[in-house]
Structure 1
Amino acid sequence: MAKDFTFKKFHINAFQCGMPVSTDAILLGAWAAIEKSQSILDIGCGTGVLAIMCAQRNLKANIDAVEIEQNAFNAAQQNCTNSPWSNRLNVHHIGIEVFVKKKLTFDAIICNPPYFNSGETSNNLQRAIARHSIALTHQNLLHYCVQLLNVKGNASFVLPKVEGQAFINLLLQLNLPLQLTRVIDVKTTVNKVANRVLIELTKHSEYTEKSEYTEKSEYTEKSEYAENSYQQLIIHDGEGYSQDFIALTKDFYLKM
């Protein structure tokens, strides 16, 4: 059973939701470039943690959150209602493939997308929906981002490293008007290989040339990243949490 989680300014009650609050979600919610956005969409919001983090970081934005799984929707709706920013949070019990038909557009999209595109699914359907690309394929997700983003709007994701590279390769193959603008490898310690990647895409009005990040098969070979972004984020150093991790997440974690 997923556990509840208390942040500095709000609380997440997991209720019967399939997945607990993860470090992945907290990193994404703290890192996504949503500060200047007037409208934000959280796709597959789970317990609502990303939507609420966005509401805390941007006090002017209206945030919509979409969740198809009943228990997760119930949790998200309750958590958003109980948060200090409930008047700007709207949770929809609907699949993104239906929501997109509303023809709404957003300045920013945030998504902790399903992964494990192959292999056995969990026996628990809630966890399967949360962790596997059975309800939302990455290809469909990218197409939905094109439809839902305003021009110059951005979409931010967190994925395991292998799935993240496959996600980027898929983006190239589809030739969509989305450009890779930030990529951050996440390592638990300095001596371990990266196991997560944060990805930002920006929508352009026309189809563009290949991004500088994806001219090579491995994006981490590129040394030029967006200004003021980390190329690499290490969570733990020899004394506990790294200074970069603390700087990124200190507005949320209770003990930072």
Structure 2
Amino acid sequence: MPNTYFQFKQFRVEQDKCAMKVCTDSCVFGAAVEVADAQRVLDIGAGTGLLSLMVAQRTKATIDAVEINQEAQVQAAENFSSSPWRERLHLHPVSLQKYAESCQVPYDIILSNPPFFLSSLKSPDAVRNTAKHAGELLFDDILLFAQQHLNQNGKLYLLLPPAEATLFRKLALAHGFKLAETIEVFTYRGGKCIRHIQTYTVSAPEAPATKQFFIREEDKVTYTAEFATLLREYYLQL
């Protein structure tokens, strides 16, 4: 049975009410996004609030988090209120579409680990389906929102499996965004690429940068030096 919480060095993520638990690739994503100079950040599909909390730890930005699932709303609110950055974390318990109707602020950073597996079979668990499959939150909704509310020099960050990342890139181009960088995340050296961390901007180089990031060494147990460096400010065991 999964733990009811995940303890980080500076905060705890309670997760008993959420279908999607804290996972390693999300932690890599939260630590990898560049937010040092951001004044305002939006987390789309907050879930437990993990990404918002990770960003809050290393920036002074005001962070808005949008979440449609009622159980996740309660969980994120609890995690925000018990964190050291509660004054800068603002949960909006609505859909992104609804939030777009009233949003009046521009964002320096928009990030999302959205529902994915567009082409895969859905599980019988309706809550988990919503968390893992594009349903209430569609890729076009994210891009439309970013068109209207991302600063001219802002960045849009996505964490997606490779196939869905390819699809999102095509849609992003149609919406006027360019892929600036892809970080290919591998479970271990010699293993499978499980996720792409994509960075989009309005203006980007003709050839986007591509990097590879390995979570573990070939023994599938030992964390790589790059993982340890990236997560050292968050993980208790590093």
CA distance in 2, matches of 1:44, 1:203: 22
The secondary structure found in structure 2 opposite 1:158 is strand
The SS at the match of 1:26 is helix
Supply the AA of the counterpart residue of 1:61.
Answer: A
Alignment partner, residue 119 of structure 2: 118
1:201 & 1:12 partners in 2: Cα distance? 28
Give me the whole-angstrom Cα distance separating, in 1, the residues matched to 2:214 and 2:73.
32
Q: Aligned-pair distance for 1:211?
A: 4.0
TM-score by length of 1: 0.86
CA drift of 1:95 comes to 0.5
Does 1:104 pair with 2:99?
Answer: no
Please state if 1:248 is matched with 2:230.
yes
1:233 aligns with 2:233: no
Q: Are the counterparts in 2 of residues 80 and 89 from structure 1 also a CA contact under 8 Å?
A: yes
TM-score (norm 2): 0.93
* Aligned-partner SS, 2:188: coil
Query: Could you tell me which residue of structure 2 aligns to residue 148 of structure 1?
Result: 149
Q: Shift of the alpha carbon at 1:234?
A: 0.9
The answer as to whether partners of 1:2 and 1:16 remain within 8 angstroms in 2 is: no
Query: Counterparts in 2 of 1:84-103, with a 5 A limit?
Result: 84-102=84-102, 103=104
- Deviation of the 1:155 alpha carbon: 1.1
SS of aligned partner of 1:201: strand
Alpha-carbon distance in structure 1 between the residues aligned to 2:29 and 2:72 = 19
Report the number of matched residues: 234
Mapped contact 2:111–2:156 kept (Cα < 8 A): yes
State how far apart, in whole Å, the 2-side matches of 1:163 and 1:2 are: 27
Q: Distance in 1 between matches of 2:88 and 2:176?
A: 29
Task: Structure 1: state its 5+ residue gaps.
Answer: 214-224
Match of 2:190 in 1: 191
The one-letter code matched in structure 2 to 1:99 is Y
Q: For residue 48 of structure 1, report the CA deviation from its aligned partner.
A: 0.3
Runs of 4+ in 1 over 6 A off after TM superposition: none
In structure 2, what residue type is equivalent to 1:189? Y
Counterpart of 1:231 in structure 2: which amino acid? Answer: K
Q: Which range is displaced more, 86-95 or 140-149?
A: 140-149
1:142 and 1:22 map into 2 onto residues whose CA distance is: 25
The residue that corresponds to 1:70 in the other structure is: 70
Deviations 1:107-129 (A, max 9, x none): 10111011011343232222111
Q: Is the 8 A contact 2:190 2:218 kept in 1?
A: no
- Give 1:182 shift: 1.3
Tell me the amino acid that sits aligned with residue 100 of structure 1: A
- Point out where structure 2 has 5 or more consecutive residues left out of the alignment: none
The alpha-carbon deviation at position 2 of structure 1 amounts to 5.3
The Cα shift of 1:212 comes to: 2.1
